[in-house]
Amino acid sequence: MSGESPEHVRHRPPISLPQPRPVVVACPQFKSAINLSRIVRLAGCCGVPHVIACGNNKIDSAVARDAPECVQIERRRSLPNRLRELKESGYRLVGLEQTTHAISLHEYRFPRQMALVVGHERIGIDAEVMPLLDDVVEIPVYGLPFSYNVATATTMALYEYCKQYPQG
């Protein structure tokens, strides 16, 4: 800094992207509506225009804030058929999960057009969805518990995507 004290800027206007991000976040039915609400807010902040949500969890407006105004929330009973449609239309299906052949988030180069598939808080990505995935990314854990909260892990993955594609 140039000797001046930083001044707090509250609610800085969002950075305009020259193009929408070709990203979909695909979520199973969560135990907690808070996790879905946090992911919807995350999508809004990252410029991700589309979240697929299974089940009937309500979006908590105190958590998601203004994000539902700019994020399309598509409701589904299950993910497999919709993921097949996305794959056929050119999306790469990237699972966020701990598996035997997962690639570390530190080493993974995200495809520009992707569906980020996240798992249930307790059981992870459904066994019916796993064979559909093109890639699986794992976030290293350095202590206990053995995995991150689903909304936290999604935040880490989308942050890395945005870092790799800052212009959308």
23-164 — its CATH code? 3.40.1280.10
Specify the pLDDT at position 117: 98
Helix (H) or strand (E) holding 85: helix 80-88
Specify the pLDDT at position 20: 87
Specify the pLDDT at position 152: 97
| Residue % of the chain over a pLDDT of 70 | 99
Mark the ranges of the chain whose per-residue pLDDT is less than 50.
none
Specify the pLDDT at position 9: 83
**What dihedral angle (degrees, nearest 10) is formed by the CA atoms of 97, 50, 28, 32?**
100
Specify the pLDDT at position 11: 80
Sketch the domain layout of the chain as residue ranges.
Answer: 23-164
Report d(CA 44, CA 124) in Å as an integer.
24
Predicted TM-score of the model (pTM): 0.94
